[in-house]
């Protein structure tokens, strides 16, 4: 079976939706969390997820307080679709609920990935008692598409899930909203992630990811070609377009917060579909998204830039980005001085200086490239936010984002772009109470605990839109001799 990486939020499954607890854990064997790492066992017990090594020892316990029995996060571990089928209904007699379950496989509740929401809900309503139980069996990873679909649909209908989950890559970032809602236009699934203590529940890879290749198999490729040839206006329509309208209808008109895609080509395809719709935010990587700013402005969709830049080594640039300065090496006593009269030594020093200038120029070019994209998007009136993915370089990447947002907000066009924006957009966080209609409130743009900087926007909500009054960055640290 083709390797998939699927993130699933099983909201309420750990502690039970009715408050019931289970003494036995759910163990998923041989989960390959990363291609370059050995398989591990995933242990789920009362809201606690732990990865165990081959010997069975506890390798890394996850923060139990992150989940609080409200949801389980499995991913990006599911490279081979470790998804259970729908569990069988429990016995009618409550006294028999602890009896061992039958080992006979259950019939999948759904037949294909293309069933509409009504079919899913009808099937899940029939399984309603079963969905309130925690299945403790060890699942065979050799699941087929029907089992995968039934297992995902089992998590799909849990009450605490809000909107829809996404195709592509979604990285964990401190600048993301507290309640993250993503639309998976390929599978039509629901995912909802909630930050706790300023961060999302993370996996061993340090990122929350949903990996799904759009139109990966030949059947969807053929459906795409047929839909494109049947479109009279020339705008390509994928086979899931009617499904999006149906999802919006079922959700009562609430639009999804994110459309996720991994490449610029996928982004342009999605943007062609979003033209004329009310979609607001698109996750796009890599940073070459600036070339698609015109299409994004036409679609009136926001942008999240995925930063992939090298580590900053130039001291002056590190100081500008508010990064920690490298420690200076102390010169040893009695060390011989450099003989600048030696032609070979002078040539070596000139070569070193030229190489340093090249590195500094490359780093400045990277920063300028990252600055240009949000400025162009601001001038086009497109909201934007940032996402950083590369592990180990988070401080540098977040500094890039901070510098870019600071430069973007210093332009009058950026304030005009923010004026009229939806206060429910994910990169706005309400800092003060009073975000009601007709009341001024303070919003924070891209704040986070990794840095001591944030931009506050004094705005008032009028007819569901922001009217920006002021926007300025907060002071960095305390001033000498007193408080802020």
SS (H, E, C) 207-237: CCCCECCCCCCHHHHHHHHHHHHHCCCCCCC
72: Cα within 13 Å, side-chain hemisphere: 25
8 A C-beta contact, residue 471 and residue 456? yes
Residue 214 lies in a domain: no
pLDDT above 90: percentage of residues in the chain: 0
Q: Please give the DSSP secondary-structure letter assigned to residue 449.
A: T
- The pLDDT score that the predictor gives to residue 351 is 77
Residue 143 lies in a domain: yes
Residue 178 lies in a domain: no
- The pLDDT score that the predictor gives to residue 460 is 52
Residue 176 lies in a domain: no
Residue 350's contacts (CB-CB under 8 Å, 6 or more residues apart) are none
8 A C-beta contact, residue 375 and residue 407? yes
For the whole prediction, is pTM greater than 0.75? no
Stated as kind and residue range, the H or E segment containing 387 is: strand 384-388
Query: Terminus-to-terminus CA distance in the chain, angstroms?
Result: 59
Preceding peptide of 76 cis, ω within 30°: yes
Residue 259 lies in a domain: no
Residue 44 lies in a domain: yes
DSSP 158-173: -TT--S---SS-----
**Edge to edge, what strands does the sheet with 428-430 contain?**
428-430, 440-445, 455-462, 465-473
Helices 117-126 and 145-156 meet at what angle, rounded to 10?
80
Q: What is residue 249's three-state secondary structure?
A: helix
Residue 289 lies in a domain: no
Residues in the chain with pLDDT values less than 70:
1-341, 359-360, 362-484
Per DSSP bridges, beta strands 26-31 and 40-45 are: antiparallel
**Alpha-carbon distance 443 to 456, whole Å?**
6
The domain in which residue 127 lies consists of 8-89+106-161
- Into how many domains does the chain fold? 1
Structure tokens belonging to residue 341: 């009269």
Smallest Cα–Cα separation from 263: which of 169, 404, 172, 400? 169
- The pLDDT score that the predictor gives to residue 363 is 58
Residue 439 lies in a domain: no
With the CA atoms of 234, 235, 237 and 242 taken in that order, what torsion angle do they form, in degrees rounded to the nearest 10? Answer: -110
- The pLDDT score that the predictor gives to residue 210 is 26
- From the CB of residue 375, how many other CB atoms can be counted at a distance below 10 Å? 19
**Alpha-carbon distance 404 to 409, whole Å?**
9
Smallest Cα–Cα separation from 259: which of 300, 307, 198? 300
**Alpha-carbon distance 320 to 406, whole Å?**
12
**Alpha-carbon distance 225 to 237, whole Å?**
9
């Amino acid at each position: 079976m083709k390797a998939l990486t699927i993130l699933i939020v099983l909201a309420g499954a750990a502690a039970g939706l009715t408050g019931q607890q289970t003494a036995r854990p759910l163990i998923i064997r041989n989960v390959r969390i990363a291609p370059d790492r050995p398989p591990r066992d995933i242990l789920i017990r009362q809201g606690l997820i732990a990865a165990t090594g081959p010997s069975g020892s506890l390798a890394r316990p996850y923060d139990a307080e992150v989940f609080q029995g409200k949801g389980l996060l499995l991913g990006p571990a599911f490279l081979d679709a470790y998804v259970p089928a729908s569990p069988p209904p429990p016995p009618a007699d409550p006294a028999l609920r602890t009896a061992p379950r039958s080992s006979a496989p259950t019939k999948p509740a759904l037949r294909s990935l293309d069933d509409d929401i009504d079919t899913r809900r009808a099937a899940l309503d029939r399984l309603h008692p079963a969905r309130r139980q925690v299945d403790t069996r060890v699942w065979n990873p050799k699941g087929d598409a029907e089992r995968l679909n039934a297992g995902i649909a089992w998590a799909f209908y849990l009450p605490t899930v809000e909107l829809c989950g996404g195709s592509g890559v979604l990285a964990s970032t401190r600048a993301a909203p507290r309640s993250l809602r993503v639309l998976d236009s390929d599978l039509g699934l629901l995912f909802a992630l909630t930050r706790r203590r300023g961060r999302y529940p993370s996996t061993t890879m340090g990122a929350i990811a949903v990996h799904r290749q759009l139109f990966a198999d030949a059947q969807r490729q053929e459906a795409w070609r047929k839909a494109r040839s049947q479109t009279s206006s020339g705008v390509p329509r994928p086979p899931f377009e009617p499904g999006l309208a149906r999802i919006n209808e079922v959700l009562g008109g609430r639009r999804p917060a994110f459309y996720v895609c991994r490449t610029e080509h996928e982004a342009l395809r999605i943007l062609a579909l979003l033209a004329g719709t009310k979609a607001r935010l698109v996750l796009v990587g890599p940073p070459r998204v600036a070339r698609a700013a015109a299409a994004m402005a036409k679609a009136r969709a926001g942008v999240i830039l995925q930063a992939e830049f090298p580590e900053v080594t130039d001291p002056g640039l590190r100081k500008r980005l508010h990064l920690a300065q490298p420690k200076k090496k102390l010169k040893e006593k009695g060390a011989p001085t450099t003989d600048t009269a030696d032609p070979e030594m002078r040539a070596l020093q000139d070569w070193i200086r030229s190489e340093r200038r090249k590195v500094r120029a490359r780093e400045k070019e990277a920063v300028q490239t990252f600055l240009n994209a949000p400025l162009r998007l601001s001038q086009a009136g497109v909201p934007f936010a940032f996402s950083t993915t590369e592990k180990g370089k988070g401080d540098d990447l977040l500094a890039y984002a901070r510098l870019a947002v600071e430069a973007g907000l210093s332009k009058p066009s950026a304030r005009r772009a923010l004026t009229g924006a939806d206060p429910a957009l994910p990169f706005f966080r309400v800092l003060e109470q009073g975000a009601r209609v007709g009341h001024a409130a303070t919003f924070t743009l891209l704040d986070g605990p990794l840095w001591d900087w944030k931009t506050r926007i004094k705005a008032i909500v009028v007819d569901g839109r922001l009217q920006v009054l002021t926007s300025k960055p907060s002071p960095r640290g305390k001033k000498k001799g007193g408080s802020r």
